[in-house]
Each structure stands twice: as C-alpha cells, then as structure tokens.
Amino acid sequence: MKIKVKLISYLLLGILIFVVIFFFWASSPNYSLNEYSKLTINNHSVKIDKDSIYSIITYNIGYLSGMTNNKAIAKPKDLFDKNLEKVKKEFGLLNADIIAFQEIDYASARSYKVNQQNEIAELGYNYLAKAINWDETYVPFPYWPPSIHFGRMLSGQSILSKYPLRDHQRIVLERVKDNPFYRDALYLERLAQVVTVTIENKDVIIINVHLEAYDKPTRERQLDVVIDLFNKFKNDYPTILLGDFNSDIEYENPAINKIITLDEIGNAAFESNYDFTYSSAIPFKRIDYIFYSKNSIELIESKVLKQFREASDHLPIEMKFRLK
C-alpha cells in the first residue's frame, strides 16, 4: 500500500513538473523586445495615382482564417491560400496608398508559416511598419483537440505604405488586471502603433489600434490613452486613428462613444454609407473605425469594403481624403 501511494505521489509530482516546464517553454518569446517594432523598406514596383486624393484602409485580417477564427476546427492550408489570393486581388484593384492591419501573421504556425505582411507588400508597398503583439513559443488554443492548437505564434499590427514612413512607435496598452496568470502569460498585448507618413511634403500621423475584446473596463481605459494620443497630434498634424476598437455603438454605454461624440474628430463611413464590419458572413455590428482630424483632413469618400467577403471575420473600411 505504501509503495502504491509513493508511486502515485511520484506520478503526480512528475505531471506537475511537466506542466511547469511546458508552461515556461510555451510562454517564452522567440524574439527580443527590440525586434517587436520594425520599419522596413522594400524595392517593389509601385503604382501611385498622384491626384491629391489619397486612400487608406483599415482591416482586421484575422490572420486570413476567415470565419474559422478562434473556432476549434481544423483549418487547412488551402483555406489560407485562397483567402490570401482573394485579399491580394482586391487590394490590387483598390490600389490604396496606405493599409493598416490588425491580427496579421508573420510566419505563425497557425497560418502555415506564411509572412502575410510581406506577401501583401508585394503589391507595391515599399514602406512597412511592423509591431509584434503576440510572440509565444507555443499557444495551446483552441484548447481541444491538441491537433488544432495555434502553436508557435508571431502576430501583430502592420502599416503598409506607398509613401515614406518614419518615427515608428509601438505603445503597449493596459492589460486585463484580473486575468489568471497562466492566461495572461499566453495572451496578446494590445497596442497603439504610431507612425509618421510623408505626403505632399507634409507629415501625417497614423495611429493603428487593436483594443481589448473581452473586458470592457480595460477597453475603456485603453481608449482614454488612445484619445489622449490623438489629441497630442491633431492640432499640429493631419492625424488618422483607425483599427479594431472592439466596441459598437449599440453596446450598453459603449466605450466608442468617448470618441464619436468629439466634434473635432471625423468618422469615416459612419454618418453616410454606414455599414457593419463584423462578422463578414452576416454583418451585425460595427467595431472597426477610421477617425480623422477635421481641421486638416477633408473626407472625400468612405465605405465598408464588402467585396472582401469572408477572407477574414471582419470587413475592411476605406477612406479617401485630401489634405487641407
């Protein structure tokens, strides 16, 4: 009996040691912190329409997983290949000057190690700003079965531009305070990505965000920081704030009202051409936005781009504008 108890104790101890080792291994990063923010210059052939009207798109690309995002189902490589082909085709037709992405993968296991940023940049985007927000050796999600785990994770937010970028900043926003330690260690960082783009010899500030999805108080505090950031620039520079805010005006006391109600800030594809952006299969809420400084940017046209269909679980928004 004593031998059996001892064997069980050793077994449990072994399992505990394995779990601890696995946790520290899985949550360890692949890159150093100074590699999390990077500006890159390419040499692709570029097509620019110089007519004083510019276009910018925000797109939570959902790592090209379509409507399977976060679902516990197998995701074949063919799904990602087709979605990448679809996205590149549509962006090629639109020929936007600047594209801001959220949830874009840089060779993650979950998306078959394809660098989605670089693939799309081949359309003629020579200036890239990359901000990594999820770097883990192994993410065991969705939890079951293990065969569909995300695995090695390298994902984040990117800004692709046909015009020069500089002064790139990766600003880490507040984390959810009451997340269990094991979840927090394997959870992505929420970012405000800031970069300066030079257009017509003018400096334009782009702020690309992806706010907290599951905890409203944290999302509200993150938005306060983002609004302060916008206000810091808007009086001196044309400023565009865009991304996935994870807040809909139909929510109870929605966080997004903090910025929508500000008179000096414009809201693309909102007062006219209003459409939902999530989910792309049957859109039922608006959580993606493009805001801009009214004093220095004139809105020409804006819309939700429904033609992207289900390449992501979100639909992108495009804004065409002129600098005042």
Which DSSP state fits 62? G
User: Are 26 and 51 within one domain?
Assistant: no
Mean per-residue pLDDT for 235-260? 96
User: Are 6 and 57 within one domain?
Assistant: no
User: Are 130 and 246 within one domain?
Assistant: yes
Q: 174-182: long-range contacts at Cβ-Cβ below 8 A with a sequence spacing of 24 or more?
A: 174/218, 174/221, 174/222, 174/225, 175/218, 176/212, 176/214, 176/215, 176/218, 177/218, 182/23
User: Are 90 and 147 within one domain?
Assistant: yes
Domain count, the chain: 2
Domain hosting residue 23, numbered range: 1-30
Tokens, residue 49:
């329409």
The yes-or-no verdict on residue 315 having pLDDT over 90 is: yes
Q: What is the pLDDT at residue 69?
A: 93
CA distance 160 to 99: 5
Q: What is the pLDDT at residue 16?
A: 84
User: Are 86 and 58 within one domain?
Assistant: yes
Number of H helices, E strands in the chain: 6, 13
Rg for the chain, CA atoms, rounded: 21
* Pairing, β 202-210 against β 191-199: antiparallel
Residue 68 burial (CB count, 10 A) = 19
User: Are 110 and 165 within one domain?
Assistant: yes
**Residue 174 CA: distances (Å) to CA of 192, 221, 251, 298, 318:** 11, 8, 21, 32, 28
User: Are 3 and 54 within one domain?
Assistant: no
Q: What is the pLDDT at residue 68?
A: 95
Which DSSP state fits 88? H
Q: What is the CATH number of the domain that holds 91?
A: 3.60.10.10
User: Are 106 and 23 within one domain?
Assistant: no
247 burial class (0-12, 13-18, 19+ CB within 10 angstroms)?
buried
CA distance 315 to 309: 7
Lowest pLDDT segment from 141-145, 226-230, 238-242, 290-294: 141-145
Residue (of 245, 173, 168, 164) closest to 201 by Cα position: 164
Mean per-residue pLDDT for 190-219? 97
Mean per-residue pLDDT for 262-266? 92
Q: What is the pLDDT at residue 189?
A: 97
User: Are 40 and 15 within one domain?
Assistant: no
Mean per-residue pLDDT for 35-45? 93
CA distance 304 to 278: 11
User: Are 319 and 252 within one domain?
Assistant: yes
20 CB contacts (<8 Å, ≥6 apart)? none
Q: What is the pLDDT at residue 49?
A: 74
Tell me if residue 5 falls in helix, strand or coil: helix
% pLDDT > 70, the chain: 99
The yes-or-no verdict on residue 1 having pLDDT over 80 is: no
Average pLDDT across the chain, whole number: 94
CA distance 54 to 234: 18
Q: What is the pLDDT at residue 45?
A: 86
Q: What is the pLDDT at residue 185?
A: 87
User: Are 182 and 280 within one domain?
Assistant: yes
Q: What is the pLDDT at residue 180?
A: 87
Q: What is the pLDDT at residue 246?
A: 98
% pLDDT > 90, the chain: 83
Residue type, 40: T
- Start-to-end CA distance of the chain, whole Å, equals 85
233 — phi, psi (to 5°)?
-105, -30
pLDDT digits (tens, 9 = 90+) for 179-202: 888 888 889 999 999 999 999 899
pLDDT digits (tens, 9 = 90+) for 109-158: 999 999 999 999 999 999 999 999 999 999 999 988 999 999 999 999 99
Lowest pLDDT segment from 25-34, 59-68, 273-282, 286-295: 25-34
Mean per-residue pLDDT for 66-83? 95
Q: What is the pLDDT at residue 10?
A: 74
Alpha carbons within 13 A on the beta-carbon side of 106 = 22
User: Are 90 and 213 within one domain?
Assistant: yes
